[in-house]
Amino acid sequence: MTPKTHLLFSLFFFFLSLSYPEIGEPRRLVASWCKCNVHYYEDESAPTGTCAVCVVGGERSLVANLSAANCYKSEHLKRPENWALVEKAKYYYIAGFFLTVSLESILLVAQHAAAKNKVKLLTS
């Protein structure tokens, strides 16, 4: 990892859902190696999700099994140590699939962003 790559990952934080141990633990190890600031919502009621990407030429297609990501709860976001990161951030990116998972979490971040005149991006 180059110093520039390390700096890039140091500027971001992620909230992810996972389960143990089959896929979740390797993700935790990679995130640690990359020095990513990841705050996991751990839920053992569903396995960690998986995805696959097919790239042909300049086109790509993504298939995802959200699994544990579908279990995310806004209580995780509201924890003081996690909400402090939301308050510190200047920009927010939320993937569109999250609309069906935790609309309350999206609204909490959107209301904060609007009140503080911060930029929020939601993809579909």
What does the domain layout of the chain look like in residue ranges? 3-72
Mean pLDDT of 86-109: 89
Please check the confidence at residue 87 and state whether its pLDDT lies above 90.
yes
Total-model pTM: 0.72
**64 vs 15: which has the higher pLDDT:** 64
User: What backbone torsions phi and psi does residue 51 show, to the nearest 5 degrees?
Assistant: -150, 160
Residue-averaged pLDDT of the chain: 79
| Residue predicted with more confidence, 28 or 23 | 28
pLDDT value for 18: 57
pLDDT for 65 beyond 70:
yes
The count of other CB atoms within 10 Å of the CB of residue 8 is 12
